[in-house]
Amino acid sequence: MKLASSILLAAALLASPAVAQTGDKAISTISLGTATPGGGFPLYGNAFAEVMNAADSSLTIAPRNTKGSNENIPLLEKGELDLALVAGEPAYEAFAGIGRAPVRLKILTAIYSNPGMFVVRADSPYRTIRDLVGQPVAFGAKGSGLPILARYVLDGLGLKQDEDFKAIYLDRAGDGPAMVEDGRAAALWGAGIGWPGFAAVASSASGARFIAPSAEEIARIRAKHSFLKPLTVPAGSYPNQSEPIASLGSWSFVLTREDLPDDIAYRLAKTLHGIEPAFCKKLAQACETTAANTVAAAPKPELIHPGVAKYFREIGVMK
């Protein structure tokens, strides 16, 4: 009986935030799934945990490296993660039930927009997406959302990433820039503002050139995949990037397991809203992490966690 009780207790702790007692104050440890080292999600997730933990000592957010969005979603469904970063396209497919049953996960916050594009060496001959056809291209880590965004973008142009390109899928997101620098890959696909892979190539000795869909290509892609939105990478987002870059993509989210308690979600939302300026100063891409952007980016209002929605109504950003 004692053994059975111990097993049940352990299972309960795994299925909910771990709560430890320090003096007379309960501290909840909340797991946060990110992605493979060297990518944008671990960078963001670690900064998120640092600023949140500093602002609310009663909650401890513990980042955890994973294989990325495609692993984070089932881990959330099984209750093995409390929170996780999920890219826009995997989130879209999961909520819509594309290729699977619809998920019952909830949105804690939108984190940042993800304009997708390629980066090549500045001295390479490649200047358009069509120029890259037949070339080795690193499309991102195997479990991340980046290859899914690429698949939608290329499909809108009548291209298939596994047939029209020599597609490379990385074990670690951080491996991509070196492959471009030494010629193993002609290009690296990525997304977002302040994305580490783009920053690494742009900071290298060879320098970088970014390749995004043209205006005509953006229109073609959106005609087929309207959930992708026009987005802009502002000038100066990367070293020696003097002009804004127009592209398209979607918003990434912090998702929660379905049964994350409303009071914890409420506290997380309130804490995050209170530190928006500080988070922005810490990490450039976190400047987009706001309550207002979360309401605007959510595919449907009911996908926002009820505890978060309660706080958003209190501050007037949600009806």
Tell me the per-residue pLDDT of 224-271, one tens digit each, with 9 for 90 and over.
999 999 999 999 999 999 999 999 999 999 999 999 999 999 999 999
Residues 56 and 169 in one domain: no
Q: Which residue has the higher pLDDT, 21 or 290?
A: 290
Residues 144 and 235 in one domain: yes
Residues 29 and 148 in one domain: no
- Please determine, for residue 12, whether its predicted confidence score (pLDDT) is greater than 50: no
Residues 265 and 308 in one domain: yes
DSSP, res 100: S
Domain's final residue, options 213, 233, 250: 250
**Secondary structure (3-state) at 250:** strand
**Residue 176: half-sphere exposure toward Cβ, Cα within 13 Å:** 38
Instruction: Report the alpha-carbon distance of residue 138 to residue 132 in Å, rounded.
Output: 11
Q: In this predicted structure, what is the pLDDT of residue 4?
A: 46
Domain's final residue, options 201, 219, 250: 250
Residue 157 burial (CB count, 10 A): 16
Q: In this predicted structure, what is the pLDDT of residue 144?
A: 86
User: pLDDT tens, 134-170?
Assistant: 999 999 988 889 999 999 999 999 999 999 999 999 9
DSSP, res 216: H
- Please determine, for residue 8, whether its predicted confidence score (pLDDT) is greater than 60: no
**Predicted confidence band of residue 43 (pLDDT cuts 50, 70, 90):** very high
* Domain interval for residue 153: 114-250
Residues 277 and 157 in one domain: no
Q: In this predicted structure, what is the pLDDT of residue 181?
A: 96
Residues 141 and 227 in one domain: yes
User: pLDDT tens, 274-303?
Assistant: 999 999 999 999 999 999 999 999 999 999
Q: In this predicted structure, what is the pLDDT of residue 173?
A: 87
User: pLDDT tens, 98-113?
Assistant: 999 999 999 999 999 9
Residues 234 and 267 in one domain: no
Q: In this predicted structure, what is the pLDDT of residue 269?
A: 98
Instruction: Report the alpha-carbon distance of residue 53 to residue 116 in Å, rounded.
Output: 31
Give the chain's domain count: 2
- Please determine, for residue 6, whether its predicted confidence score (pLDDT) is greater than 60: no
Compute the mean pLDDT over every residue in the chain, rounded to the nearest whole number: 91
- Please determine, for residue 1, whether its predicted confidence score (pLDDT) is greater than 90: no
Residues 156 and 77 in one domain: no
Residues 227 and 280 in one domain: no
Q: In this predicted structure, what is the pLDDT of residue 143?
A: 82
Q: In this predicted structure, what is the pLDDT of residue 58?
A: 87
Residue 14 burial (CB count, 10 A): 12
CATH of the domain at 40: 3.40.190.10
Residues 91 and 119 in one domain: no
Provide, rounded to the nearest whole percent, the portion of the chain with pLDDT above 90: 85
- Please determine, for residue 15, whether its predicted confidence score (pLDDT) is greater than 60: no
Q: In this predicted structure, what is the pLDDT of residue 27?
A: 52
Please give the average per-residue pLDDT across 42-50, as a whole number. 97
Domain membership of residue 1 (yes or no) is no
Domain membership of residue 6 (yes or no) is no
Q: Which two tokens stand for residue 70?
A: 């495609």
- Please determine, for residue 5, whether its predicted confidence score (pLDDT) is greater than 90: no
